[in-house]
Amino acid sequence: MTFQILSLSGGGYRGLFTAEVLAQLEKQAGKPIGECFDLIAGTSIGGIIALGLGLGHTAEEIRDAFIVDGLKIFPPRPEPPKKGIRAKIALYRAVIGGPRYDGSMLRETVEKIVGAETLLGEARTRLLIPAINMTEGRVQMFKTPHAPTLRIDQHRKAADIAMATSAAPIYFPLAKVGESLFADGGLVANSPDACAVHEAIHFAGQQKDDIRILSIGTTSAGFGLPASLGTQLGPKEWLVNARIVNTVFGVQQQLVNFMMEHEFKDRYVRLDSDTSAEHAVDVGLDIATEERRRTLLALAQGCYQRACNNRFVIDALRHQPVEPDFMKARAAQTL
């Protein structure tokens, strides 16, 4: 029996692209898109979307929340000076200062999407949300109780988990879940496709040949550096435009996507949009202006139009997942 996975990448405000692709697929399916999958995995902004879908919200609702609150989460910042004493002061502040944003508006938006008090255990499908436990120094996967050994995370607030997976270094403060502090899951699994497959096999009892994966990106922004920067890159060069973070996120996502295509062949489809050099400047992780919004929505609609007649996508939208055991147990308790 087919076991279908939806895997959503991280990418800051570029997650609007993901949400719009999902909203278009949702219209084609004629039902909430979360009801088409046996397991949903998501990292960072993809984790926020995954949590929203898993808790029964539509992709359209999630997309609209990003549109309304984008500029509140990522307010415009003045262009930093490039030369002179002001440029040096700006660099000094970037090195010794705190994160760019305090995260309060992100939290407000997250609570609109998943609820302020909603628990992960209230999800309607299996969920997998990567994050980095900085207190314990380990990778942590937040999970619904879809296996007998998975009992702790179901009692955690979904909003706390959403903040943990999206606590991107430089951009946001570390997030607290319980007594531990967390950083963005994109540092280890910005594209959580392989993590989701591992979960399906080892915790959901699935056979590899029965697994199909629909992976959705946030536009493939390049992370290469021009030769004009030379070889002696220090804090200034790596911190400009958060190059170090973008590189970490980008390289492992590229590697995972490459391996998944080879391993699963026609049982793996990645929906994304390669951006031009001009687009890459226009769709940064924390750029949420009206112009960027229009660009992301247009790219997403183009991506959907290229994919909507794909046989894999058509079959994916017709898939009827088997209800997970934790949902059956919850239903039995209400009788």
Q: Any idea which residues carry the catalytic annotation?
A: 44, 184
196: Cβ contacts below 8 Å, ≥ 6 apart: 5, 7, 39, 41, 128, 213
Can you name the residues that pair with 138 across neighbouring β-strands? 133
What is the spatial distance between Cα 115 and Cα 316, in angstroms, rounded to a whole number?
28
- DSSP secondary structure code for residue 100 in this structure: S
Can you name the residues that pair with 270 across neighbouring β-strands? 215
C-alpha separations of 158 from 26, 66, 196, 330 in Å: 23, 17, 19, 18
Report the 3 state secondary structure along 172-235: CCCEEECCEEEEECHHHHCCCHHHHHHHHHHCCCCCHHHEEEEEECCCECCCCCCHHHCCCCCH
266: Cβ contacts below 8 Å, ≥ 6 apart: 312
Query: Checking DSSP bridges between strand 126-133 and strand 180-184, what pairing results, if any?
Result: antiparallel
